[in-house]
Amino acid sequence: MTIPIEPQRPQLMQNDPFSKPGYTDNFYDAVGGHDTFVKLIDVFYDGVATDPLLRPMYPEEDLAPAKRRFLMFLEQYWGGPTTYGEERGHPRLRMRHMPFKVTPEAKDRWLFHMRKAVDALELPPLYEGTLWDYMERAALSMVNSPSAP
């Protein structure tokens, strides 16, 4: 039995990433995998740890469990290991955040710290924009309380 060999794709333009052997359509791998997401989470939680509005939303004295959960979630969401689902099941993000009063101000503080974290990664613009777009949409979807009067 002869297995047909896929013909080489012509290079569409100089430095065409789709023609290079290292191309991947997996965001997780494309941005650097585990190390990239660890850095994102570390920088983000460095800010959360000292934020008077957000820190009370993390009841554990040590932020390590929250960091681990968020890391697992983001890695799985972006195409990495499926540890989050194996350990915790479906994310149910809105349900898991309902015990906390997530106001528009809390969302803004969350995005402030996440912006610093995303910037720290120094990703190429396409990846940075893709990641940031998701973070903005996710943060907005977690708002469950009006602003305090």
Per-residue pLDDT at 115: 98
In tens digits, the chain (149 residues) has pLDDT values of 566 555 554 444 455 444 444 555 799 999 999 999 999 999 999 999 999 999 999 888 889 999 999 999 999 999 999 999 999 988 887 788 777 889 999 999 999 999 999 999 999 999 999 999 999 999 999 999 999 77
pTM: 0.81
Which residues have a Cβ under 8 Å from the Cβ of 97 and sit 6 or more positions away?
A: 142, 144
CA 127 to chain centroid: 11
Q: What is the pLDDT of residues 41-57, one digit of tens each?
A: 999 999 999 999 999 99
| 3-state secondary structure (DSSP) of residue 115 | helix
Each as own residue / partner, the long-range contacts of residues 136-143 (CB below 8 Å, 24 or more positions apart, any chain) are 136/111, 138/93, 139/107, 139/110, 139/111, 139/114, 140/107, 141/93, 141/94, 142/93, 142/94, 142/97, 142/102, 142/107, 142/110, 143/102, 143/103, 143/104, 143/106, 143/107
Question: Following DSSP, what letter does each residue of 116-139 receive, concatenated?
Answer: HHHHHH---HHHHHHHHHHHHHHH
Per-residue pLDDT at 21: 46
Q: What is the pLDDT of residues 63-79, one digit of tens each?
A: 999 999 999 999 999 99
